[in-house]
Amino acid sequence: MAFNSFGNLLKLTTYGESHGTAIGGVIDGFPAGLVVDFDAIQEELNRRKPGQSAIVTQRKEPDTVEFLSGIFEGITTGTSIGFIIKNTNQKSHDYSHNTDVYRPSHADFTYDKKFGIRDYRGGGRSSARETANWVVAGALAKQLISNISINAYTSSVGDLEMSKEYHQLDFTKTEANIVRCPDEIMAAKMIKKIKEIRKQGDTIGGTISCVAKNIPVGLGEHIFNKLHAALGNAMLTLNAVKDFEFGSGFEGTKMKGSHHNDIVNENGSTKSNLSGGIQGGISNGMDIYFRVAFKPVATIMQEQQTINSKGDETAIMGKGRHDPCVVPRAVPIIEALTALVLADFWLRSEEHTSELQSRSDLVCRLLLEKKKKKKQHS
């Protein structure tokens, strides 16, 4: 099975299963010299971990990360950063009822047909438990590009949707409630909605909005590797994600070009930002903002019709510990993926800059040598 890596210059390769001994990863391309804030990394994991509130899965995992390499005396060395997160609260017997049965809207059927074998314990490798690895790498990436602020938040749950724009919000309030919505009134309604859905043995979806500020101009490429395409690829990699829109998104399709165009100011900024901070695949220095849509969790505590691996009709009902809504726990994951993409593009731009500078220095040295030789001959 390939495709266990994410990124280009900054690359994360991960391993592990939901109910295996551990999960973990190796980060390549991380620069030397960063003083690591380990508490900040653990805090990001705490934001994602299961069992943190009454509206998420009650699986209890400390999600404590242990670094194995690439950091010496608290400073990155420029070599591979290896890490591990041990699983401590597996209850594989919760999945004994579906060893041979395909759960509706899960990866059971496709995984089995592709590989001829599947880990039925919580989805195995395809489980969202994998995302803890992304949060570790993303937390390090955040520290690498600390000048860029990245804030994600729950903007809708079901039909409950915030009407405020991101610039009207106080992001310090995002962590003040368990649904991670910075609008306190809307947050209370969302929490009530999720609790009601859970009592029904059902699940519900929602959206997460994210904004990145203080973005340098020039991140991204104009043909392939466009910045918004990379962000979209990252977000759509996340379990349960069904849609990604940046800038004006689908609402922009209802507008005329005369209203949609972002007029440029003398300093290069724009009067509006319907482009979402990216034009021609390259960052223009304005805020990058986007939304990510999550479907309802596929595991529900209600009986559903399905088939087994032999093609026989049967029924199945979810058991064990599951999220009634994944959105609150996905907020730090969205931030982590955003940080990884931006850090990777930042390193690429730094590489190009240093490459150009080294060429420029070489040309200058050659010209100086030429002048010296002329003087010596004269």
Roughly how many angstroms between the first and final C-alpha of the chain, as a whole number? 69
CA–CA dist 284, 264 (Å, integer): 11
Weakest mean pLDDT among 150-154, 191-195, 303-307: 303-307
CA–CA dist 110, 363 (Å, integer): 56
pTM of the model: 0.88
Note the pLDDT tens digit of each residue in 169-206: 999 999 999 999 999 999 999 999 999 999 999 999 99
CA–CA dist 338, 145 (Å, integer): 11
Read off φ and ψ for residue 127, nearest 5 degrees.
-70, 150
Q: Is it the case that residue 364 has pLDDT exceeding 70?
A: no
Q: Give 112's contacts (C-beta < 8 A, 6+ positions apart).
A: 102, 118, 309
CA–CA dist 4, 117 (Å, integer): 18
CA–CA dist 121, 321 (Å, integer): 12
Q: What is the CATH number of the domain that holds 170?
A: 3.60.150.10
Mean pLDDT of the chain: 89
CA–CA dist 108, 221 (Å, integer): 37
Closest by Cα among 180, 175, 141 to 41: 141
Note the pLDDT tens digit of each residue in 91-144: 555 555 667 888 888 888 888 888 888 777 666 677 888 999 999 999 999 999
Closest by Cα among 315, 304, 248 to 276: 248
Q: Which domain holds residue 272?
A: 5-377
- In the chain, % of residues over pLDDT 90: 68
CA–CA dist 255, 183 (Å, integer): 28
Q: How many domains does the chain have?
A: 1
Tokens of 192: 């009530």
CA–CA dist 232, 87 (Å, integer): 30
Q: What is the mean pLDDT of residues 214-243?
A: 96
More confident residue, 154 or 17: 154
Indicate the pLDDT class of residue 266, thresholds 50, 70 and 90.
very high
Task: Give the pLDDT confidence score for residue 18 in this predicted structure.
Answer: 79
Under 8 Å between Cβ of 169 and 151: no
More confident residue, 361 or 299: 299
Note the pLDDT tens digit of each residue in 313-363: 998 887 766 789 999 999 999 999 999 999 999 999 865 455 434 444 544
Task: Give the pLDDT confidence score for residue 355 in this predicted structure.
Answer: 43
More confident residue, 376 or 354: 376
More confident residue, 157 or 96: 157
